[in-house]
Chain A
């Protein structure tokens, strides 16, 4: 991983208008992304993972806007780009996205093959014949069996997982600088998921591109990420290297997230789940947004927002627990020695 920053987000804020009321989906987020790294973004559903990455390609819905902050990429502040024309030089070409929901990324009326060759002809200036050869190669690369025969199929003839692999092939066709993956493997079985993860890792090394990887599967995070950022209610509340976040998490929300893993559950008993609901984004959030759901919250959590505290050069967490005046509090028993617990589980699974 290099030290060269490819993206610098400074105090980014995003708002949406919903029938005359304004909600704040991203609250004062600052984040550096390093060239060539794979950064996983995890966190609560609705916490802003997709919205945050959509600001990098100007893909916010019409009722949304970047209402504050800066996003630097190649000497340009992306948050200030106004025209769709300027976005066309970046979106798809330099920063490509693979979305959570593949049905919106493929045109149902066009053949699979031509949806890929189109991109190759447009972005890489290939001839029709060259594009076809390359498209078939890409389809094979993402694991579509019989690629030559299925080149002429329509999307509905593919299963959910196969369609997702096509979407990945299309994104790769542009050879982007940054690949944003918004839950790209959620619809895939674990064996194909493993292939796709290997593929993304290989390609990121081969082409030195940077990957922002959104997922809910912490197994996938452990497999692919160099670094992990955890989001809650529109903010990044902890980030660090994979090892730091899995083995030495400091924020109570990250603790709760790890404690909810189905791997740590006992059959027939309830899984650990966080009580309550996240705050309404229509109102200003007072103090630590997670406090009302955190049984261990301190008085100050309800009053004042915590700053980002430094744990190490690479590890930061936004919790008052890291203040020197805070009482000593240890992570829950369930996630102590996570590595051993997981190994034991794998031992119970009767696989080599």
Chain B
């Protein structure tokens, strides 16, 4: 499938994010560029601390962009925006946070938490309609109507995470930035939520930018996958391609470390495969090695990595 005639919904161009911590500077994101097509699921994976959350927080304007540009539907959304534009974006782009406990208002009950967006954007006509939407959103993610009056601390970890998902999806956004949205769920509810997200994607042409550490899930759900390491995007390709033909050493070590649900395989797992790669990324170039398959590296490195 060619990517050329697909509509680009979100475009990140040369994103740099630097945090100042005392006198130290943390280069969290270094020149990251990628496009997300309308209706696709773009998976972002990589080392803990590689900058994945920072990328999506910066897209949302929660973190400041140090340099670079971000476009949504061909409109520049980085930099100063009018209040009206900000409001529209808030409805169009929703985020599901990595840490459900920290992102839910502890003093509000579930009814209010899930309704907040509905109130903000006046997405209902009658009280009954609002209530129905909330109950539907909760049951869609496997929660019960009786949960509606409860407070976040009265839920299990996975139940809280599902509240975060219900809250984001209920207002029918166009783009969902999902930061580890299903990490705290058991495999069956995970399957249920993934099926729901896929269904919404088919019905509403929803687009997902999906971060997860579980690479089996990324493989299953994503159309394309980007791999981050140390604040750099080091490889990007179609999901099938990257799993069948990983080229970057970091991608390889990542795929190699996926634990498999099989005690025999795990018992005979070879240890020590996760040696950290010692590559100076700043001298690398972003090169398309085969159509749609990008690698960060110097010409020599790329030659080395792509030789059979």
Contact = CB atoms under 8 A, between A and B. Distances in A.
A216 B189 CA distance: 10
A338 B261 contact: yes
B94 interface: no
B271 interface: yes
B184 A216 contact: yes
B4 interface: no
Interface string B114-154: 00000000000000000000000001001110100110011
Contacts of B198: 270
B48 A18 contact: no
Interface residues of A, number: 78
B262 interface: yes
Interface residues of B, number: 77
B298 interface: no
Nearest to B223: A267
A311 B21 CA distance: 58
B197 to A, nearest CB: 11
Given A50-B157, A183-B184, A223-B266, A194 B216 contact: no
A242 B240 CA distance: 31
Contacts of B56: none
Contacts of A222: 259-263, 265-266
A89 interface: no
Nearest to B189: A45
Contacts of B263: 222, 242-243, 246-247
Interface stretch (A132-140, A169-177, A312-320, A340-348): A340-348
Given A189-B213, A350-B246, A257 B187 contact: yes
Nearest to B100: A101
Nearest to B180: A187
Contacts of A345: 260
Interface in A122-175: 153, 157-162, 164
Interface of B: 19, 21, 26, 45-50, 53, 98-102, 139, 142-144, 146, 149-150, 153-159, 162, 180, 183-192, 194-195, 198, 213-217, 219-220, 239-240, 243-246, 252-266, 269-271, 273-274
5 contacts: A16-B154, A159-B49, A216-B186, A223-B266, A277-B143
Nearest 10 A/B pairs, CB to CB: A161-B48, A45-B158, A219-B259, A159-B49, A271-B191, A218-B261, A191-B274, A273-B191, A342-B262, A190-B257
Given A46-B158, A270-B198, 15 more contacts: A45-B189, A101-B157, A103-B99, A161-B47, A189-B213, A191-B254, A193-B257, A194-B273, A217-B259, A219-B258, A257-B187, A261-B261, A267-B220, A277-B144, A343-B262
